[in-house]
């Protein structure tokens, strides 16, 4: 083959350079370039060029397929940056919040559907929390962008298109509707279903199982822990999950507000107190007491949720900037200085329950009767905010006790399906 003239050399170099942007064969291209296209390398240059040209054409084909895929997405009339997730969101726990967090990782805008009381009752049995209480928990979650109330238990393509969401996200467990069918079968068949990892060891069913055999006396009595409500837990406490829930970029600034408590069975009362506390300053730190401290002051069946679960729940709240894990019951001057606290806040429904405290003091003889807010009161930085609702963890438990038979039937059905998940259906799904 005759030698390449200067014009042909320049043209070939230009084409090779242009093609190299889209291929991985850069070492060979560099070799040809360094040869400066001497006559003996002309044949080699053309051979390599043909190979690069093939790779370039392959790239163009892949690019065309990608464009075709995007075009296919567009034909759905839905935005791929919008993702939908739905649920009952009853007795919100870290499993709920982790599902919402993972779904948000798939989307720029996360749309969260919530089922009505009637829809939940028809498909699963009656919820413990009211629609208003469940919606309030979602509105306070930092990963939720939009909320769809009265969402159907079995979503369809029409719903996704109307919400302009290309995909729906759900855990790797199967949701069965009242007809005994997979609630997401239509979505799956349309290729618009995204699987996220189910958070193991925590569910509303597990929580109800812990509470269902309790009675009024159990709420404060018995100096020793009882085994009557002991339910097997598969909850895996990991530092990674706490990191994923944490506010990594938020730094204390301005007035630092501190509020503490057990935050057991995280509910609307907690949310409203945290919202008001945050409004008093710029940065909200929440102290969460460890299990032993809660047990000592609240009673032998408390806490219902362990420390790790309670920390995750509080971190999911958009009003919270930081948490103190295992916070002391009594707020000291050293704690105030260490965290540069401007105000210490409690709700009018606070962690102090005189009747329970007195009973625990008599039964154990070791519960301190010192005012945990004595120091901040002395320093003039204590603030009390009015609790909008007279709701406490014990009230939620009482709802379950008052409807024991109904919740027992629901628990028995759901606990079997959850155990089947662990024994038969469970496969590895990487958490997002």
Cβ atoms within 10 Å of 1's Cβ, excluding its own: 8
Contact predicate 93/313, CB 8 Å: yes
Q: Which residue has the higher pLDDT, 50 or 61?
A: 50
Query: What's the CA gap between 113 and 110, in Å, rounded?
Result: 10
User: Burial level of 427, CB count in 10 A (0-12/13-18/19+)?
Assistant: exposed
In this structure, are residues 262 and 347 in contact, taking their beta carbons and an 8 Å threshold?
no
Provide the pLDDT confidence category of residue 392 given band limits of 50, 70 and 90: confident
Determine which helix (DSSP H) or strand (DSSP E) holds 380, and give its type and residue range: none
3-state secondary structure of 125: coil
Neighbours of 139 (CB within 10 A): 14
Enter the tokens of residue 156: 């369809």
Q: Give percent above pLDDT 90 in the chain.
A: 51
pTM of the model: 0.76
pLDDT tens, residue by residue, 309-327? 999 999 999 999 999 999 9
| Whether pLDDT at 1 is above 80 | no
372: closest CA among 286, 256, 259, 271?
259
Query: 420-427 — which CB contacts under 8 Å span 24+ positions?
Result: 421/173, 421/174, 421/198, 422/200, 422/234, 425/173, 425/174, 426/172, 427/172
pLDDT for 414 beyond 70: no
Residue 78's pLDDT is 86
Sign of CA dihedral 198, 204, 205, 206: positive
Q: Among residues of the chain, what percentage have pLDDT more than 70? A: 68
Closest Cα partner for 273 from 392, 395, 388?
388
pLDDT digits (tens, 9 = 90+) for 139-176: 999 999 999 999 999 999 999 999 999 999 999 887 88
Contact indicator for 154, 108 with CB cutoff of 8 Å = no
For the stretch 201-237, pLDDT in tens is 788 877 887 787 665 444 444 344 333 344 445 567 7
User: Which band of pLDDT confidence, cut at 50, 70 and 90, is reported for residue 22?
Assistant: very low
pLDDT of residue 367: 53
Give the single-character DSSP code of 176. Answer: B
Per-residue pLDDT, averaged over 264-286, amounts to: 97
Here the tokens at position 318 are 């958009």
The predicted-structure confidence for 82-128, as pLDDT tens digits, reads as follows: 999 999 999 999 999 999 999 999 999 999 999 999 999 999 889 99
| pLDDT higher than threshold 90 for residue 248 | no
């Amino acid at each position: 083959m005759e030698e390449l003239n200067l014009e042909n050399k320049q043209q070939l170099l230009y084409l090779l350079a242009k093609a190299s942007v889209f291929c991985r064969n850069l070492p060979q291209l560099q070799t040809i370039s360094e040869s400066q296209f001497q006559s003996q390398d002309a044949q080699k240059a053309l051979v390599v060029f043909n190979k690069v040209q093939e790779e370039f054409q392959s790239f163009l084909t892949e690019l065309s397929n990608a464009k075709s895929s995007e075009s296919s997405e567009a034909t759905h009339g839905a935005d791929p940056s919008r993702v939908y997730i739905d649920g009952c969101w009853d007795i919100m726990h870290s499993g709920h919040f982790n599902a919402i967090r993972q779904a948000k990782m798939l989307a720029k805008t996360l749309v969260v559907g919530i089922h009505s009381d009637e829809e939940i009752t028809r498909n699963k049995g009656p919820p413990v929390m009211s629609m208003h209480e469940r919606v309030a928990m979602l509105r306070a979650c930092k990963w939720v962008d939009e909320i769809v109330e009265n969402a159907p238990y079995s979503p369809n393509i029409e719903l996704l298109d109307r919400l302009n969401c290309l995909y729906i996200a759900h855990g790797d467990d199967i949701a069965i509707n009242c007809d005994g069918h997979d609630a997401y079968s239509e979505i799956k068949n349309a290729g618009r279903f995204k699987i996220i990892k189910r958070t193991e060891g925590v569910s509303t069913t597990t929580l109800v199982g812990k509470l269902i055999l309790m009675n009024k006396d159990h709420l404060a009595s018995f100096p020793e822990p009882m085994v009557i409500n002991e339910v097997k837990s598969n909850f895996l406490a990991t530092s990674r999950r706490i990191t994923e829930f944490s506010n990594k970029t938020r730094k204390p600034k301005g007035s630092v507000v501190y509020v503490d408590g057990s935050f057991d069975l995280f509910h609307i009362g907690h949310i409203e107190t945290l919202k008001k506390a945050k409004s008093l300053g710029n940065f909200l730190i929440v102290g969460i007491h460890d299990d032993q401290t809660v047990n000592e002051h609240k009673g032998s069946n408390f806490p219902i949720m362990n420390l790790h679960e309670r920390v995750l729940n509080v971190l999911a709240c958009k009003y919270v900037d930081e948490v103190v894990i295992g916070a002391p019951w009594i707020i000291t001057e050293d704690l105030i200085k260490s965290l540069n606290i401007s105000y210490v806040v409690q709700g009018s429904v606070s962690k102090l329950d005189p009747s329970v405290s007195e009973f625990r003091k008599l039964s154990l003889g070791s519960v301190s009767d010192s005012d945990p807010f004595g120091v901040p009161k002395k320093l003039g930085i204590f603030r009390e905010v009015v609790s909008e609702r007279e709701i406490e963890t014990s009230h939620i438990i009482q709802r379950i006790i008052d409807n024991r038979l109904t919740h027992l039937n629901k628990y028995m059905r759901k606990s079997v399906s959850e155990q089947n998940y662990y024994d038969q259906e469970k496969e590895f799904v990487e958490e997002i």
